[in-house]
Structure 1
Amino acid sequence: MANARRRRYAGAAVAVAVWFVVALLAAMAAFLGSSRTLVLATHDANLRPSLTGYVVLHTGPVLPDVRQPSGSRIGVDITLGKTDATSVDELLQRYAAIASQPEGQIAKVREALGDMVVAAALRGALVGLIPLGLWWLVGRRRRDELLHRARRLRLLEVGLVLMLAVVLWWEPWSDEDPTVFAGQDWVPLADFLGPEVPLPDEVSDIEVLGDVTTNQTRRLIESAISTYDQSKTFYTAAAQAAAGLELRQPAADETVALLVSDRHDNIGMDQVARAVGDAGGATMVLDLGDDTSVGRTWEAFSLDSVTSAFEDYDRFGVAGNHDHGSFVRGYLGEHGWTMLDAETLIGPAGIRLLGVDDPRSSGLGNWRDETGLSFAEVGDRLADVACEAQDLGRRVATLVVHDANLGAAALARGCADLVVGGHTHVQAGPTRVVGENGATGYSYTTGTTGGAAYAFALGSKPRRPAGVSLVTYRDGRPVGVQAVTLQTTGVFEVGDFVSLAPTPPLTDATAPEQPLTSTPSG
């Protein structure tokens, strides 16, 4: 009895060991043979894992390939595909600016690799069950017969079969032309460019494949390195300075929201905006739109960056007029942002929010089914929602829009405490507005967080003053706002904390809160 039990335990242990070994080998094969297509560094890109320990970037037929140690045994091969850049110079300048603030792209690659690991592990676990299933299906009697027959096979026969399998796999008869890069080796970037080009310490371990074939290529790469160094230096220094700003600090019963708007792909400012938010005690961020220049998929790097910068904040947003189409809204929504959609919801600390995308971003006038509504018509519809909520005792604390003018009707009717927007690239307000019902609210416009003078603001520093704002809430209502501006010289200007005192209509001040029917609350 004891021997039978031991045999069963031993059999179970062998089965688990077989499953584990087969599953591990199958998972490794599936992982190393898998790939993902994603948008990276403004390109369509193909990503494949490896065991080289390097991140290898295949840039295409014109520029040299680049690699850098990954810091682990796992590496990755990234092959860049199509992009909308109109010249090699423009492309290299983009690379340099993105490389100076790579956190969003790194997080995206890690997320893709993590998904591939999980998928490979699941496949490996299933493949590991195959030999166990076959063992069980064949049965003991048939296994004994097969084993007896295998013992009768001669060593020569087995050897010939194995040799034939190896030859068929190797295909020595196939004749391939030598590749363009045959004979070229990986060389350090410093040797690639020569001693006359100073390199930042952060790129000292980068290697390139091949050699510089023209003076133009050398000049382009030198320019890109200069852009990288300037961008890294400027924005890192600005973020460090922002951390030491003397900003108004929230009390224990207060909540602070950071306003960002009109980033226009300037990912360098993301770490600066985050540093300002942390210095001011912010725990939530309101993105007022125009994160991109045209709302195209190649601009995913900008959305990845702002998502990475505020990963642990409560995140809410709307799309701006430059965020054309549905890509920006959909992408942010898939990556943890709550995109406001003309329905009131309760945010952190009981802050009731209402917002909608700029109707000029997609041609959609209504947030539901209608199309072709004008800017003013959308503003009126938004005011209807805000006023309906107020009639039910659920006054909107903050109306989030890209252009503050979209919330003008709601303020004029006295149905919101605060309207926040961007769009003009210049900070303005807060402006007190007395509604037709006697209620008071405020309109506030924050400056361009990207320091944008044009639709595309990515560069080594802001092209104009870059601004963010901090809105303080108490008991779910806005009680103050403070603007922070970074000049193009790298100097910060901190505005005064301006107190806000919005008041609801006198007839509604003591009205009991009623269930909301057509506009659900979070």
Structure 2
Amino acid sequence: MHDRPVPARWLRWTLAALAAVIACVGFGITTASATLSLGPHEAEYSVDTDGLVVVDLGPLGTLEIDSPLPLGLGVDVTVKEIPADLSAVGASSTLDRLVGDLDGYLQFYDSPQVTIDAVTVALLGDAARRAGLALVGVVLVGWGVRVLLGEARRRQLSASLAPRTWQLTAGVVIVAFVGTTLVSADVDGPRQGRPASAVFEGTALEGARITGRLAGVIDTYGGQLVALYDENEAFYEAARADLGQAWNSWEIRHAVRTNLGEEPPDPVSGEDGEGIVSMLVVADLHCNTGMSTVIEEAVQRSGADVVLNAGDTTMNGTAVEKVCVDAFASAVGDVPMVVADGNHDSVITSQQEAAHGQTILDGGTVEVAGVRILGDRDALETRIGEGTAVARERTPGEQAADLAAAACEQDPDLLLVHTPVVGLPALDAGCVPLQVSGHTHQRFGPVQVGRGIRYVSASTAGAASGQPTVGPLRGTAEMTLLRFDTTTREWLDVQVIAVTPSGEATVYDRERMPVVVPPVGELEDAVPPFSPPDGDEQDEEPAPSGSPSLDGPVAP
């Protein structure tokens, strides 16, 4: 009888380590979980092996769809904030609550890939963490067993098992293969009496099966949601196409006027290679993720070097509004974004934005693309469901004084804040040449205020008073392109980009930035150097009810 060949020691250890890693990775993947958002709710996502994606809404029922994951892997989604017992909640009030959450569901349905990507990254991260901890546990257990066995016993076991290395390896592979096959084969197909909902035919949820009271809700309101989604998609895709055409028309108009000498040529770059920096201003997005595609078009067509976000990216600054932050971050791509969060945002919002690499202003000056930008998060925070605003760490008056002091010390090129009135002391002192803000939902300026220029951006979400921002526009949405010469340290011009509720886009001509002329009168005596491009009522100072004083309430 021939002796079995004994594999080299390094090969045996390599096979043992590989088996341990595979087992730990399998454990990590099949037990991964994460807490993220699903529409207007927080939800717990966990990986399982039933081959289904199951959204559990408690006593309302479940939504099931075949999982796209391999090897029979599925995901269970447990939605929070659903009452455990509906006996105390009437059917009508339950349905009313769901209808009230329609905007939140539409935001999710409008950008499902954003949520899917976020969930995928979170689950993979948790799986890696669990696999790492499991591997550490295996190593520690192995080391403990090694110590307990002692050297003599280890040699005896090694002499006995080493000749059987290949048989043991084959056995592990067969067990793993059989286990995977059994898991995959155990996947439930569509169950009897649970047909796919016809509401989702032709959508990303085609084939979904509904159970419980939720089935009636979906049958009643699902068609409305799908119709709203289709209307929303069609509107913003058409608006994006119209913006592209409007930009082409402006480029032709600009070229003709330049050739005729009606407009001066663009300034040339300085000897150091720095030249003109284009900055696209957005403000008061208020979770209107439909505008993401239009913003993306504006960024690409304008060649913006930086995007300035003047705040109120979300409605309430909650964790579940991460889908909104993610959608806007995806729209700007690799273009740097500088953010001055607003009263409807929160520390959570700032953290979500920072996770995308966005620069969050926090009372100091940063330099982006050669432009020195000073700013801060809004001093007020709107309380969810209360409609009131309270001071964070400082009052608006204290924040205004701090920003004025910082401006006079740090010599910024731009002050970016959410609420216009907060920048008044810095402008009065002449320590900042330009302030950009939002908050009022109405465009105003650029106009000389104090010894500087103030520009208030309208809402990029087309936000209208008392109207939701989800769905086709209810008001005119605007963005503004600012240009700055890094050689002369001068602001050159402003250019308004607007999309009306009818979906018509307009790219207005550039308007020269006004030059500060001393002596400067008081705020109420300042006169805009030119009328806004659309010539409507927005060329007037926003109504006092928006921000009557530095320490007053916040209306929008």
Task: Give the TM-score normalised by the residue count of structure 1.
Answer: 0.75
Distance 1:306 1:338 in 2: 14
Tell me how far apart the structure 2 counterparts of residues 69 and 91 of structure 1 sit (CA, whole Å).
Answer: 26
CA, structure 1 residues 216+128, in 2 after alignment: closer, same or farther (shift >3 Å)? Answer: closer
Given the alignment of the two structures, is residue 493 of structure 1 paired with residue 506 of structure 2, yes or no? yes
Instruction: Name which of 37, 58, 61 aligns with 1:60.
Output: 58
Between the aligned partners of 1:105 and 1:132, the Cα distance in structure 2 is: 40
Q: Could you tell which deviates more after superposition, 10-19 or 35-44? A: 35-44
Q: Distance in 2 between matches of 1:88 and 1:365?
A: 32
Contact 2:448 2:514 in 1 (8 A): no
The residue aligned with 1:430 is 446
What's the offset of the Cα at 1:485? 1.2
The partner residue of 1:352 within 360, 372, 376 is: 372
What is the 5 A alignment of 1:183-202? 187-190=195-198, 193=199, 201-202=202-203
Give the structure 2 partner of residue 90 of structure 1.
Answer: 100
| Change over 3 Å in CA distance of 1:469–1:70 after alignment to 2 | farther
CA distance in 1, matches of 2:66, 2:282: 33
Aligned counterparts, 1:380-459, within 5 A: 380-389=401-410, 395-433=411-449, 435=451, 441-454=452-465, 457-459=468-470
Match of 1:321 in 2: 343
Unaligned runs of 5+ in 2: 84-93, 162-189, 255-265, 270-274, 383-388, 519-556
Secondary structure of the residue aligned to 2:337 is: strand
Q: Shift of the alpha carbon at 1:65? A: 0.8
Go from structure 1 to structure 2 and tell me whether the alpha carbon gap of 1:258 and 1:146 turns closer, same or farther (over 3 Å shift).
same
Task: Indicate yes or no: 2:322 matched with 1:300.
Answer: yes
Within the candidate set 478, 485, 489, 1:474 is matched to 485
1:224 aligns with 2:245: no
SS in 2 for 1:265: coil
C-alpha spacing 1:356/1:397, structure 2 compared with 1 (3 Å): same
1:136, CA displacement in angstroms? 4.5
Q: Which secondary structure state, in structure 1, belongs to the residue aligned with residue 80 of structure 2?
A: strand
Q: Return closer, same or farther for 1:184/1:469 CA change in 2, 3 Å cut-off.
A: farther
User: Percent identity among equivalent residues?
Assistant: 25
Seen in structure 2, the aligned counterparts of structure 1 residues 145 and 235 have a Cα distance that, compared at 3 Å, is same
Aligned to 2:240: 239
Given that residues 463 and 477 in structure 2 are in contact (C-alpha distance below 8 angstroms), is that contact kept between their aligned partners in structure 1?
yes
1:135 Cα deviation from its structure 2 partner: 6.8
**Secondary structure of residue in 2 paired with 1:450:** coil
| Aligned twin of 1:157 | none
Change (3 A) 1:444 1:207: same
| Residue 337 of structure 1, CA deviation | 2.2
> What is the Cα deviation at residue 72 of structure 1?
5.2
8 Å contact 2:279–2:304 — kept in the other structure?
Answer: yes
The residue that corresponds to 1:111 in the other structure is 121
CA deviation map 1:410-459 (0-9, x unaligned): 22222112111111112222113462xxxxx3211111111112477342
Counterpart residue identity of residue 259, structure 1? V
| Residue equivalent to 2:537 | none
Shift in Å, 1:305: 2.3
Q: Is the 8 A contact 1:270 1:306 kept in 2?
A: yes
User: Who is 2:552 aligned against?
Assistant: none
Q: Quote the residue 2:544 is aligned against.
A: none
Q: Which runs of structure 2 are paired with 1:257-336 in the superposition (5 Å)?
A: 257-323=279-345, 325-336=346-357
Q: Is the 8 A contact 1:42 1:301 kept in 2?
A: no
Q: Could you tell me how far apart the structure 2 residues matched to 1:365 and 1:202 are?
A: 44
Q: If the length of structure 2 is used for normalisation, what is the TM-score?
A: 0.71
Q: Give 5+ residue unaligned stretches, structure 1.
A: 1-5, 151-181, 194-198, 390-394, 436-440, 506-522
TM-superposed CA distance for 1:210, in Å, is 3.4
Q: Do the aligned partners of 2:53 and 2:65 also contact (CA within 8 Å) in 1?
A: yes
Contact 2:54 2:62 (8 Å CA) reproduced: no
| TM-aligned CA distance change 1:352 to 1:503, over 3 Å | farther
Change (3 A) 1:456 1:474: same
Please give the secondary structure, in 2, of the residue aligned with 1:87.
helix
Shift of 1:139: 4.5
